[in-house]
Amino acid sequence: MKALCFSGIQPTNVIHIGNYIGALKQWSDLQHRYPCYFCVVDLHAVTVTQDPKLLRENILNTAATYLAVGIDPKRSRLFIQSEVKEHAELGWLLGTIVKIAELQRMTQFKDKSKKRGESVGVGLFTYPALMAADILLYDTTVVPVGEDQMQHVELTRTIARRFNQQFGDTFVVPESLIQTTGARIMGLDDPTEKMSKSARSPMNYIALTDDDDTVRKKVMRAVTDSGDDVSYDPKKKPAISNLLTIYHHMTGTHLKDTEKKFSGKGYGDFKKALAEAVIEHIAPVRRKIAEYRKDPQQLMKLLDEGRDAACEAAEKKMNLVRDRMGLGRR
Ligand code: TYM
């Protein structure tokens, strides 16, 4: 079986360093090992209300971000989910395979619906079936994601096995690929909750597009723990441990070496160093995003090519699925 990697990000609000450390950073390494599909999952974005104009902007910003962090369109296919109709079609069909009770167990649905109450749409509930469709359409073997998406990938595996059992071998059963550290970056303003695009305050996250001064301000105002020693202990020191993890991913420095370096120096010095490390890492990404956005023709051409390649693979798989399920006419 050929190895293949698929992943995606919702084009909502901003892309933050949690998305970067948990997902994007590994994507650019993986493309040297596997054929990859990287998708801008706009159909998932509309499971909560979006402003259409802003959504369009965010779709292109997300695609530009993929390129800016090093996704190479010569190696990887880059495309927009809604432009490959088979995602919606397979999402519908997999909705007939997955059980209501399974969807009710999804923690992301539980969290999001708790916050939104009555205004939750059916799409938010069936979201994992669409995500399974994204993955299964391409015979994906690895899905690099942050920890919060693990449960969805697990459900994708269940759906694939169930479909294969019922209709004969059709789908490859994929695996998630999770970083050993940084798979769950916590909010700067609250280290008990994950860093989130939909956070109430922008002080929760560092966006890849934040300018240098904003990064400095956010890091310096980040919540810390009691005491003043810079040491890694997620239970007793969740805030500093989170900042240490970010520092590790920005500099490649081992946690133990960072602890030694800042021993006896207190939180202030560490935060200053962290802010500069983040700036050094993300300022070039921010500049590249702006460059890609300035040249829309290049971005459009790459997205056209990605769409065409994805359509070819997706159409083939959907023909097989329709056939297996006995849909339509031969
Ligand atoms: P999304 O858009 O919420 O997040 C994109 C990626 O970033 C990871 N991530 C994090 N990693 C570490 N710390 C955090 N605080 C953090 N926040 C987010 C996510 O785990 C994800 O990998 N359902 C997906 C999008 C999707 C998808 C797919 C992914 C749709 N179809 C198929 C993989 C394969 C989502 O909402 O990601």
For residue 71, how many C-alpha atoms fall within 13 Å in the half-sphere facing its CB?
34
Task: Average the pLDDT over 306-313 and give the result.
Answer: 98
With respect to residue 218, please indicate whether it lies within any of the assigned structural domains.
yes
pLDDT digits (tens, 9 = 90+) for 173-228: 999 999 999 999 999 999 999 999 989 999 999 999 999 999 999 999 999 999 99
Tell me which residue range forms the domain holding 277. 202-290
CATH code, 214: 1.10.240.10
Kindly state whether residues 172 and 272 are assigned to the same domain: no
Name which residue sits closest to atom 9 of ligand 1, judged by CA.
19
Kindly state whether residues 161 and 51 are assigned to the same domain: yes
Give me the pLDDT at residue 84, please.
Answer: 98
Cα of 266 from ligand 1 centre, angstroms:
33
Number of domains in the chain: 2
Task: Average the pLDDT over 135-160 and give the result.
Answer: 98
Give me the pLDDT at residue 196, please.
Answer: 95
With respect to residue 247, please indicate whether it lies within any of the assigned structural domains.
yes
DSSP letter (8 states) at residue 227: S
Residues with catalytic roles: 112, 194, 197
pLDDT digits (tens, 9 = 90+) for 20-32: 999 999 999 999 9
With respect to residue 249, please indicate whether it lies within any of the assigned structural domains.
yes
Decide: 216 in ligand 1 pocket, CB within 6 A: no
Kindly give the residue spans of alpha helices, DSSP state H, lying in the chain.
17-19, 25-30, 42-45, 52-68, 86-94, 100-104, 107-116, 122-136, 150-167, 212-220, 238-251, 255-261, 266-294, 296-325
All residues at 6 or more sequence positions from 66 whose CB lies less than 8 Å from its CB, including other chains? 9, 24, 27, 38, 40, 78
Task: Average the pLDDT over 51-65 and give the result.
Answer: 98
Cα of 33 from ligand 1 centre, angstroms:
21
Is pLDDT at 269 greater than 90 in this prediction? Answer: yes
DSSP string, 46-72: TTS---HHHHHHHHHHHHHHHHHTT--
Task: Average the pLDDT over 287-299 and give the result.
Answer: 95
CB 65 within 8 A of CB 208: yes
Kindly state whether residues 246 and 299 are assigned to the same domain: no
With respect to residue 25, please indicate whether it lies within any of the assigned structural domains.
yes
Is pLDDT at 118 greater than 80 in this prediction? Answer: no
Decide: 44 in ligand 1 pocket, CB within 6 A: yes
Average pLDDT value for the chain: 96
Quick one: residue 264, left, alpha or beta (phi over 0 = left, psi -120 to 50 = alpha)? left
Atom in ligand 1 nearest the alpha carbon of residue 147:
20
70, with CB counted inside 10 A (0-12, 13-18, 19+), is: middle
DSSP letter (8 states) at residue 36: E
111 appears as a binding residue in the annotation: no
CATH code, 10: 3.40.50.620
Task: Tell how far CA 64 is from the center of its chain.
Answer: 15
Atom in ligand 1 nearest the alpha carbon of residue 41:
30
Cα of 149 from ligand 1 centre, angstroms:
6
With respect to residue 194, please indicate whether it lies within any of the assigned structural domains.
no
Kindly state whether residues 169 and 253 are assigned to the same domain: no
Give me the pLDDT at residue 188, please.
Answer: 98
With respect to residue 60, please indicate whether it lies within any of the assigned structural domains.
yes
Confidence of residue 246 (pLDDT cuts 50, 70, 90): very high
Name which residue sits closest to atom 6 of ligand 1, judged by CA.
19
The CA distance from 235 to 280, in Å, is: 29
Kindly state whether residues 301 and 246 are assigned to the same domain: no
* H/E element, 9: strand 5-9
Confidence of residue 114 (pLDDT cuts 50, 70, 90): confident
Find, among 175, 225, 208, the residue nearest to 30 by Cα. Answer: 175
pLDDT digits (tens, 9 = 90+) for 71-82: 999 999 999 999
Cα of 72 from ligand 1 centre, angstroms:
20
Name which residue sits closest to atom 26 of ligand 1, judged by CA.
8
The CA distance from 254 to 245, in Å, is: 9
The CA distance from 112 to 49, in Å, is: 13
Token match 């695009």: residue? 197
Kindly state whether residues 116 and 239 are assigned to the same domain: no
The CA distance from 188 to 194, in Å, is: 9
Name which residue sits closest to atom 1 of ligand 1, judged by CA.
9
Kindly state whether residues 22 and 165 are assigned to the same domain: yes
